[in-house]
Amino acid sequence: MAAGKPAGKILILATESCAYPGADAVGQGHMSYPANTYVLRVKAPVLFPEKFYLDCFDKGIAGIIIMSCGVECPYEGAYEALAKRIDRVYELMKERGWDIRRLRLTAICTVCTRAFINEVKQMHDLVAELGPPGQEQQLAAAGSA
């Protein structure tokens, strides 16, 4: 990782039946990725209300990747409910002037090691570009001034 200012923190909500074992598989393959990433094991990310995401950004988390099971979700209907919720979170983020790319909904399987690394790298580059949450408003304000 580039030296200097530490990169913003990235929260990864990883499902216990797909993405969490996927993250383990990345480790078993000794494939390196940026260390500003914190994986939280979840049964299903449908558990989190809109406010949880907004609070995370308020607390200073720079990016959130939801690594779900996608259509492979063991809880039928959960993925669809999650996708709808994330759309609402995007609306709320826009209202706050936040870049919605800070929140990403993906599907990562137990062996999707390359996809895992790609997602992490992309979010890492994005938060490096955007800075801490809220910075984009300042940038926009500076731009329009």
CB atoms within 10 A of CB 121: 12
Residue from 48, 86, 104, 106 in contact with another protein (CB under 8 A): 48
4 binds another protein (CB under 8 A): no
38 binds another protein (CB under 8 A): yes
Q: Which residue, among 92, 76, 105, has the nearest Cα to 133 in the 3D structure?
A: 92
Residue from 19, 42, 67, 86 in contact with another protein (CB under 8 A): 42
CB of 97 to another protein, least distance (A): 21
The tokens for 118 are 């790609």
- Looking up tokens 């399987």 gives 109
96 binds another protein (CB under 8 A): no
97 binds another protein (CB under 8 A): no
Please report how the helices 113-130 and 19-28 are oriented relative to each other, as an axis angle in degrees rounded to 10: 100
Question: How far is Cα 99 from Cα 96, in angstroms, rounded to an integer?
Answer: 9
52 binds another protein (CB under 8 A): yes
Q: What is the CA radius of gyration of the chain?
A: 15
135 binds another protein (CB under 8 A): no
24 binds another protein (CB under 8 A): yes
Question: How far is Cα 42 from Cα 46, in angstroms, rounded to an integer?
Answer: 9
List of residues contacting another protein (CB under 8 A):
1, 9, 11, 17, 20-21, 23-24, 26-28, 30-33, 35, 38-44, 46-50, 52, 55-56, 59-61, 72, 74-78, 81, 85, 110-111
